[in-house]
Amino acid sequence: MNSLVYAMGGMGSGGAGGQGSGITTFIPLILMFVIFYFLLIRPQQKKTKQHRELLSALKKGDRIVSSGGLHGVITGLANDVITVEIAPKIRVKVSRNSIAGVISKGQ
């Protein structure tokens, strides 16, 4: 009878040990998520925020380049459409979201 009591006591502590190992199996998964957050997600969020700020700061006279490669000067602004002069008296309308960047005056 004593051996049965000891055997049951051993199972109780073994069950608790099994739960502890379940938590430790999630530690690598959590570490992988943290690494992905700092290497992929956070830099992408920063880049998206900078691009939104760039688009909101556009004004007439800025030299821009579109994602399609058009270089020009902004001559008109609307909500989602920007008029860009790419050559003397040649103007095209471009979606605001397709602006890749602003060219500095030195370039």
Convert the pLDDT of each residue in 88-99 to its tens digit: 999 999 999 999
pLDDT at 23: 82
Question: Do 72 and 63 touch, CB atoms closer than 8 A?
Answer: yes
pLDDT at 14: 47
Mean pLDDT of 49-61: 94
Check if CATH label 1.10.3470 holds for domain 59-107. no
Question: Do 68 and 54 touch, CB atoms closer than 8 A?
Answer: no
Tell whether the model's pLDDT for residue 101 goes beyond 60.
Answer: yes
- pTM attached to this predicted model: 0.67
Mean pLDDT of 16-35: 80
* Distance between CA atoms of residues 63 and 81, nearest Å: 16
Domain boundaries, the chain: 1-57, 59-107
